[in-house]
Amino acid sequence: MPFEPGEVVAPSDPRIVLEGQWGQQPGVAITVNSGSRISFSFAGESVQLLFDTAGLTVAPHLWITIDDGAPVLHLIENPVIELTAPTGRHQVEVVVKDVNEHVNRWNPPFECAVVFAGLLLDVNSRVRLSGRPGGPRIEFYGDSITQGVRSLGTHSESEGADGTTTYAYLTARAFGATAHQVGFGSQGIIKPGNGEVPPGPESFGWNFAGSPAERVTAPDVVVLNLGVNDETLEPEPYAAYVARVRSAYPETTIVSLTPFNGKHADTIAAAVKSLDDPNVVCIDSTGWITEDDCTDLVHPSVAGHAKIAAHLIPALETHTTLRRRG
């Protein structure tokens, strides 16, 4: 049957659950981070996802799952993605696979970003209120590894990247956590990231330029994994970065995770020690993976990310209040 337009549901509607780093603007919700999610439940057989694609030069990649089906890859090349299913009640999950790191995704107007404009329902369909995410809250801040760059292979564009394969995504799911996964390719403590993204201390606290990352509830744990892209690094700028995170979240446990290849591990450990803060923990990840666990000697493969998560999950159980689901 042809699609007959019915109700329009705005991104801010409580029946739509947004998870991750989203900036809210009139009529739209915007994310520039892989691993961000949209979920909702609808009764009927047809619904359209609406996006603002004006000005985009590179299409973001999405995984879309209906009920227990396999995730299906969609590129946001047009303003509408139509989903159909047999008549009944359905659960939809949309996960950002990748927002391309090589074009502007920080300063509006963007060349690549997910600009979600809501839902358009078929006249016979209705969006239903579903449960809000429970469990702990974790925020991950990192570089291309946290973004999922080249996890699928050596392709340097979005074809090779997948935020759902990363150690951050896997770790959050293991704890049943609501997660903010913030990864920017090439970013460091001192070094700016690709796509006009500033260095880590300057981008922290922002969804993108001009959009403060406001939190209703502080996270239980923040995991920091920056530094590998900095050619040189002294303890002072790293300590200042952690102090900035602490000022935003006075009671949160902060975990400083050293780069997986061991780079700047001693510097990061010294910076954390200098803060003399019992709720800031340094976890040395040196040796968790090797070059053989990477697709290009640097970026972990899918299996490499799984190995990292297998180390990180028990480490977080040891050093924080997080406990695995089930």
What is the three-class DSSP state of 300? strand
- The predicted model scores a pTM of 0.97
Both tokens assigned to 219: 């996270």
Alpha helices in the chain (DSSP H): 144-147, 167-174, 200-203, 235-248, 265-275, 302-319
Longest distance between any two alpha carbons in the chain, whole Å: 66
pLDDT of residue 216: 83
Both tokens assigned to 5: 């337009």
DSSP E strands: which ranges in the chain? 5-9, 17-19, 23-25, 28-31, 37-51, 61-66, 72-75, 80-98, 114-122, 126-128, 137-142, 178-183, 206-208, 211-212, 221-225, 253-257, 280-283
Closest Cα to residue 113, out of 36, 33, 183, 192?
33
Q: What does the alpha-carbon distance between residue 49 and residue 119 come to, in Å, rounded to a whole number?
A: 5
Q: pLDDT per residue over 18-40, tens digit each? A: 999 999 999 999 999 999 999 99
pLDDT of residue 1: 62
* Residue type, position 230, single letter: D
Q: What does the alpha-carbon distance between residue 96 and residue 108 come to, in Å, rounded to a whole number?
A: 19
Ordered DSSP codes for 191-231: SPPSTT---HHHHTTEEETTEE---SS--SEEEEE--TT-S
Q: Would you say 137 and 178 are in contact if contact means Cβ atoms under 8 Å apart?
A: yes
What is the three-class DSSP state of 1? coil
∠128-134-70 over CA atoms, to 5°? 60
Q: Would you say 116 and 92 are in contact if contact means Cβ atoms under 8 Å apart?
A: no
pLDDT of residue 129: 83
Q: pLDDT per residue over 183-231, tens digit each? A: 999 999 999 999 999 999 999 999 999 999 998 889 999 999 999 999 9
**Positions of the chain with pLDDT under 50:** none
Both tokens assigned to 308: 């990292």
Q: pLDDT per residue over 230-253, tens digit each? A: 999 999 999 999 999 999 999 999
* Residue type, position 84, single letter: T
* Residue type, position 148, single letter: G
Who's near 290: CB < 8 A, 6+ residues apart? none
